[in-house]
Structure 1
């Protein structure tokens, strides 16, 4: 039986920090340009690192597990710098200014083959690298609707930012979770053959989770995205926009499941459990390969309170 998340509400504090940094980047880019913004990332990352003790402690725990050794100040700075870099790039990518970016794309043909079947597709991502790089590829390379499903509080903040960055037409492609018509809108998008993307690595307080071994210890992974895929009988792909350096991304689309569960309810719980475990295992592989790309600044293993 899935448990419910008891962690602190990451949908509030950590995302407010992200919004604050994005607003700062908006001002810097508007006043000084990308190159000056990139130089200023060093003091900005240092400031956020030094001024967030709780998030710093959580990041140290994560990096220690991903690196297989104690994380030092340089490791922490690299994580914060990568995060700040994706926020700076987000300002440009969200407004469609991709000319000076080096974005290597892998697996896009597989994604196109999936959506050309006319069934639509769920795209599972994570707080890993840049989801905005994924959207930039989707806008340029996918002939269908690309919609993002996210928690309602975050959706309101992100909508306000996209209104400033890329116009209301981009913000309209966000479906907030928790509204009466949220699932209906997801189904309608899939029925049109569109793509619905969501981040599947974190659970909000009270959300159902399954504990899986992740970087050496049991951690809660939300079951909701996998249940959604099973109920809607939708194919699932994984998507990651890996930050490789200044304005350089490796965007990967990976096949995950033609369907999470067989038709009908029989065996659905077991199929969802297996799907959650496979997702966690793939995210673990990426965290070990690219440890400074998973922007985890909260108590993911729920150890700090204990």
Structure 2
């Protein structure tokens, strides 16, 4: 099966810039008018993404049973809604980075606040996912606090989006580090930054781009799935506090729920008990993702077959 990173990014810097300029000068109404046919096009022509969306929505429905967020088995209308929410999430990123979303729009739901990170002399690692909108959380933190966040990204698409954002707002401060693998040189570089009180942001729901077999299996929504070990090994090497970070849009109000939780003062992966330690921390991560998927079913933006990846490996 094709690895997620080998899936061609459908979009370009200029396409993104045109949409963002339309938003800047036309506002939400114009942007949504332009966004609708774009999302419809990708939904119709993106066969693999459409199937992956339905696979996720239907698996969530089965896993939840009587507590399912859907009244019936998800079909194409649910898939289209999933795609549309992804488009709105991109719009929300823009809102956040140009200052239209601030602290007043965010409700803290976790055991830690960004101000706690600001007050701490120690840095740390924030492990997020493609569930919700990490960009909103980072933008709000960057506009309100001084602590630097170093974001590890694995595709050029993220770089294109942020380059386009800087065209609209030169004050956008995005500290991105594009990587293909987590090696010792990168770990040493990040360790120095964490020791200086900075933070590292990485997602935990994608397997390695260059080493897809470096993964650990854990049930997700009732089926075995492959998760990368890289973020957890990196956290142990950095010898710093580990946090989970999720930021999700309230489906009923124009607000965001921020889940920033301290899960370990330091993650240790002893050689003899490494697998058990990985399963324990990964179990916490997956449990929180599952609970949030049930509450925000359309906000997990992984448009490839998450479980097939495990079956093929």
Query: TM-score scaled to structure 2, two decimals?
Result: 0.82
Counterpart check, 1:182 vs 2:176: no
Q: 1:109/1:36 Cα in 2 relative to 1: closer, same or farther (>3 Å)?
A: same
What is aligned with 1:106? 109
What is aligned with 1:210? 216
Give how far 1:217 is off: 0.6
Counterpart check, 1:250 vs 2:257: yes
Give how far 1:247 is off: 4.9
Counterpart check, 1:48 vs 2:42: yes
Per-residue CA deviations over 1:256-303 (Å, capped at 9, x if unaligned) read: 2222217x6553443123212221222122112211000121121116
What is aligned with 2:85? 82
User: Which is worse superposed, 265-274 or 54-63?
Assistant: 265-274
Distance 1:293 1:21 in 2: 23
User: Which is worse superposed, 129-138 or 220-229?
Assistant: 129-138
Give how far 1:219 is off: 0.4
Superposed, 1:1-306 pairs within 5 Å as 8-13=2-7, 15-17=9-11, 22-68=16-62, 70-98=73-101, 102-107=105-110, 109-114=112-117, 116-151=119-154, 153-154=156-157, 156-167=159-170, 170-171=173-174, 173-178=175-180, 181-205=185-209, 206-207=211-212, 208-245=214-251, 247-261=254-268, 265=271, 267-302=273-308
Give how far 1:124 is off: 0.8
Q: Structure 1 unaligned runs (5+)?
A: 1-6
Give the secondary structure class of the aligned counterpart of 1:301.
helix
RMSD across aligned C-alpha pairs, in angstroms?
A: 3.0
User: Which is worse superposed, 26-35 or 131-140?
Assistant: 26-35
Aligned 8 A contact 2:103 2:140 in 1: no
Q: 1:185/1:97 Cα in 2 relative to 1: closer, same or farther (>3 Å)?
A: farther
Distance 2:83 2:295 in 1: 17
Distance 1:18 1:125 in 2: 25
Distance 1:216 1:141 in 2: 39
What is aligned with 1:4? none
Query: TM-score scaled to structure 1, two decimals?
Result: 0.84
Q: Structure 2 unaligned runs (5+)?
A: 63-71
